[in-house]
Amino acid sequence: MTAADFETRVRRLVADLDLAPAEAVRSAERLAGGVASDIGVVDLGDRKICVKFALERLKVAAEWHAPVRRNRAEYAWLAFAGSVVPRSVPALFGWSAAENGFAMEYLDGSDIVLWKAALLAATTPKDEAATVGDLIGRIHAASTAGDFDDGPFKNAEDFRALRLDPYLRFTAGRHPALAERLDALSDGLDVARRVLVHGDVSPKNILLRGGTPILLDAECATMGDAAFDVAFCLNHLVLKAVHVPAIRPALIEGIRRFWIAYAAHVTFEDADALEVRVAALLPALMLARIDGKSPVEYLGEAERERVRQLAIPLLASPPSGLSAFLDRLVWDASIHG
């Protein structure tokens, strides 16, 4: 889509949602976008807002359906999370069925930083990991209430296509000796429906406002296994610990503190059993971010090899819990650098 087409779509969205007349749009500038969406910041003269759309109509109707469903699922996730932890998601200004897009608060200002940028800059952590663990725990727990509406989140098919296939199944193809284990982990995630999973709890999808995390980008939202969100986020902290030695001890402590804060909300199943699944999934995700279809971009070859050396034995003989996982990680001389 050209910049002019994007602006036209933004004008229609703004008018459709009654946010302002179409001509109030002074500019619409795209932010670095994902695979299934267009996101941008819109200047309405008196204020700026952020808009996110499903990709423009694809040629094949069936394929078009997925981006629309994901855009709607993202909005529904943000709305639900906002009802649980209002200060930790952007304020929402409406979803448009006609435009397959939504508008939200644009988070801007000198006190706002992307968590990923803060980590890669080796900024001393201020317990953000524990706060994120607390938030995800609250949201997971709230989604298990009897009156929770799972209608927008029956997205196991998308989750398979966006998460299980490119990460775990693809990695299984690359590591035949571990394939059975990786496929078993995929199978378990595939059939789970217990909690509302965000699906992309990554530091690149979390803004910090004065230290308070704000969760974004819920396109992968689905009913699923709570262990996925926990392991997915902790995996990013493990990879940062490999890459940023200056804050490594703080990151490892952050992983412990994330779990403690998260586990306090686990009323919906046995917390120990959930922890075992997290610890089993973590090395699989570590390996998947090296040898899967979506490798992390900031690790050099030596670091990638280090992650393989850490992950493979942990996959072959899974740790009994997160402490055992961390002990084996920390015990390994390679992560001490």
Ligand X SMILES: Nc1ncnc2c1ncn2[C@@H]1O[C@H](COP(=O)(O)OP(=O)(O)O)[C@@H](O)[C@H]1O
Enumerate binding residues for Mg ion (CB under 5 A): 205, 217
CA distance 256 to 129: 9
Is the Cβ–Cβ distance between 49 and 40 less than 8 Å? no
Residues 87-106 contacting ligand X, CB under 6 A: 90, 104-106
CB of 325 to ligand X, least distance (A): 28
Among 7, 99, 190, 219, binds ligand X (CB under 6 A): 219
Is the Cβ–Cβ distance between 250 and 125 less than 8 Å? yes
CB of 239 to ligand X, least distance (A): 17
**Residue in the structure block whose two tokens are 């059939």:** 191
Tokens at residue 52, please? 């996110």
CA distance 209 to 118: 12
User: Is there binding between residue 114 and ligand X (CB under 6 A)?
Assistant: yes
CB of 293 to Mg ion, least distance (A): 16
3-state SS assignment for residue 210: coil
33 binds, among ligand X, Mg ion, none (CB under 5 to 8 A by kind): ligand X
Closer to ligand X by Cβ: residue 30 or 256: 30
3-state SS assignment for residue 249: helix
User: Is there binding between residue 232 and ligand X (CB under 6 A)?
Assistant: no
The distance of Cα 146 from the centroid of its chain, to the nearest Å, equals 25
User: Is there binding between residue 281 and ligand X (CB under 6 A)?
Assistant: no
219 binds, among Mg ion, ligand X, none (CB under 5 to 8 A by kind): ligand X
Is the Cβ–Cβ distance between 193 and 224 less than 8 Å? yes
User: Is there binding between residue 275 and ligand X (CB under 6 A)?
Assistant: no
The distance of Cα 85 from the centroid of its chain, to the nearest Å, equals 16
Among 31, 121, 260, 273, binds ligand X (CB under 6 A): 31
Closer to ligand X by Cβ: residue 186 or 202: 202
User: Is there binding between residue 33 and ligand X (CB under 6 A)?
Assistant: yes
**Residue in the structure block whose two tokens are 């304020």:** 91
Is the Cβ–Cβ distance between 242 and 303 less than 8 Å? yes
User: Is there binding between residue 22 and ligand X (CB under 6 A)?
Assistant: no
**Residue in the structure block whose two tokens are 């952590």:** 125
User: Is there binding between residue 202 and ligand X (CB under 6 A)?
Assistant: no
Positions touching ligand X (CB under 6 A) are 31-34, 37, 39, 50, 52, 90, 104-107, 114, 204-205, 216-217, 219
